[in-house]
Structure 1
């Protein structure tokens, strides 16, 4: 198991601490439907990474075969340089993800939540690893071993978990060096002055050096400029890609159909409507009205589905690729079905019935 999978109990423990602290302060930190979507999207990325591990690891290994140096994992200096390198690569990946439509479509699900809490840290774009891995390949070429890189990348990801909270204010001198909750609240805001700012993972110095730093000065409104307006994780994951496909189809020229995928989100071909980029302030959050019975069903069955997913992650190395793909298909149907039930879609119970019928077989295979 990797560090991220091993940290799952800690994630839930800290979310419980955040909920308790919020209760003490008289604040509602979590909304059930949003937490369901966050956890489901995080699990979806983990499942995708497990299924595509050969492709993702293969790219790094291929470059590593042509490395400049043989770097030892026993060198403390090498670890320091690698952690700095991973953080710098993450900064440029993160910045590019906000400035190129194709990368933004993979990253956007992380920003869709209109809340800001530790559960949002777990909300990830399922296909984001396909984009991010390219930015780390120079580290393979330099000569950092794959296992060493995987550990450093996991540590970089784990650091970013705690900055997704509104319950920690500014942290004095640390604000000058490290990414803090205050910095990252700015990054998740869709206020005009906050858009595309504070991309750092661990260190905020990259944003200060490269001109993308913005301090937290005004009240934040979270989410994407164009809200996704759904708690169905499958719909949320696919919506950004669907929007790009629609824009490419509407583009009048063949070159513009291609450029749509690589231009910034605010770009639009001549003659087409310009995407929304206006300042967003105090926007009402998306809500869904559901009965307690439905909420209880989604909560309980959703947690059981996530438990089966953790079992899949633990056992994944012993499974064949067809078995991994079959689980991934079942998991995607689970997300769509539970999301449909939560939002009262007529097709939701039918999808749920099919995937629940297949659940015993899935568990048996695991």
Structure 2
């Protein structure tokens, strides 16, 4: 069975919604919501990401998921059976729900590792590098995440979800993520108990110390609650968006590569190969001499000082 990725229809609408929010912000006096150079940098990066995604999804995602699916779900006596002993999943409505839950689980860990592993953070920091939070920022996605993101989802076709189903669920997840990047939607009351909402995503994009590395969820916030990364918005705290090591540039290539350059410069500080490894694959902020600290280290120190 063939399905069309929802992004085929959703992506053209992105520009329309961005222009609508931009126009509304100007009409209502929020002229600081969009800044011209930052906005155009986001559009350029987003356009490049869309082009690369269209190419790589055909070559990598579809081919990879299909290969894994066929490998772990061979056809036996006319029936596609998983190697672990069950029949591969159908396209029934409840399987779609299970697939979306599996996708949301995968997205949580993919997103969380983007904040926990510096090599991944170097790609993901592009999305957080803007000091503005708007729908334009939503399309400001690092190009290099496209190369490793499928690895977090390979287990889904392996256990029997059809590749087309997984790709559609990925598309739905992306559509939800896009519309989260606006400050015009307030708290949602009861829905905030289980939905990853707009205010929760504002927390995620904040560089305030108390908000760092929180709310990695996709559509649901259940996994943030389960694994200790949930943080609701405190309306008494003034949010500051962006990152602690900004690119200090609106040049597209500086934004895309600046954290890789920072990693290289940190590696040159030591001849110890274990330290070099940690500068690449350790958490952001890790240093061999304590000159910079991770968010976890800073939080432990804060707790220690309060005792």
TM-score w.r.t. length of structure 1: 0.72
Number of the residue aligned with 1:138: 155
2:63 corresponds to 1:58:
yes
2:13 corresponds to 1:10:
yes
* Alpha-carbon distance, 1:104 to partner: 0.7
Kept after mapping to 2: 8 A contact 1:48/1:127:
no
Number of the residue aligned with 1:324: none
CA RMSD of aligned residues (A): 1.9
Number of the residue aligned with 2:230: 213
For 1:109 and 1:233, how far apart are their aligned partners in 2?
10
2:262 corresponds to 1:243:
yes
Kept after mapping to 1: 8 A contact 2:283/2:294:
no
Q: Residue by residue, what CA displacement relative to the aligned partner does 1:239-283 show, whole Å, maximum 9, x if unpaired?
A: 1111112222322301221222111002112x363258689xxxx
> How many residue pairs end up in the alignment?
277
* Alpha-carbon distance, 1:64 to partner: 1.2
2:124 corresponds to 1:107:
yes
Kept after mapping to 2: 8 A contact 1:106/1:131:
no
Q: How does 1:144-293 map to 2 (within 5 A)?
A: 144-217=161-234, 218-269=237-288, 271=289, 273-274=291-292
Q: Residue by residue, what CA displacement relative to the aligned partner does 1:307-361 show, whole Å, maximum 9, x if unpaired?
A: xxxxxxxxxxxxxxxxxxxxxxxxxxxxxxxxxxxxxxxxxxxxxxxxxxxxxxx
Unaligned 5+ runs, structure 2: 74-81, 300-307
* Alpha-carbon distance, 1:230 to partner: 1.0
Q: How does 1:23-62 map to 2 (within 5 A)?
A: 23-28=26-31, 29-53=33-57, 54-62=59-67
Q: Relative to 1, partners in 2 of residues 1:85 and 1:276: Cα closer, same or farther, differing over 3 Å?
A: closer
Report which stretch shifted further, 96-105 or 54-63. 54-63
Q: Secondary structure at the match of 1:237?
A: helix
Kept after mapping to 1: 8 A contact 2:278/2:286:
no
Q: Secondary structure at the match of 2:268?
A: helix
Q: Secondary structure at the match of 1:79?
A: helix
2:133 corresponds to 1:116:
yes
For 2:194 and 2:108, how far apart are their aligned partners in 1?
14
For 1:276 and 1:204, how far apart are their aligned partners in 2?
24
Q: Relative to 1, partners in 2 of residues 1:156 and 1:117: Cα closer, same or farther, differing over 3 Å?
A: same
Q: Secondary structure at the match of 1:261?
A: helix
Q: How does 1:286-365 map to 2 (within 5 A)?
A: none
Unaligned 5+ runs, structure 1: 280-366
Kept after mapping to 2: 8 A contact 1:64/1:145:
yes
Q: Relative to 1, partners in 2 of residues 1:132 and 1:91: Cα closer, same or farther, differing over 3 Å?
A: same
Q: Relative to 1, partners in 2 of residues 1:48 and 1:203: Cα closer, same or farther, differing over 3 Å?
A: same
For 1:46 and 1:190, how far apart are their aligned partners in 2?
27
Q: Relative to 1, partners in 2 of residues 1:273 and 1:266: Cα closer, same or farther, differing over 3 Å?
A: same
For 1:272 and 1:172, how far apart are their aligned partners in 2?
42
Number of the residue aligned with 1:70: 88
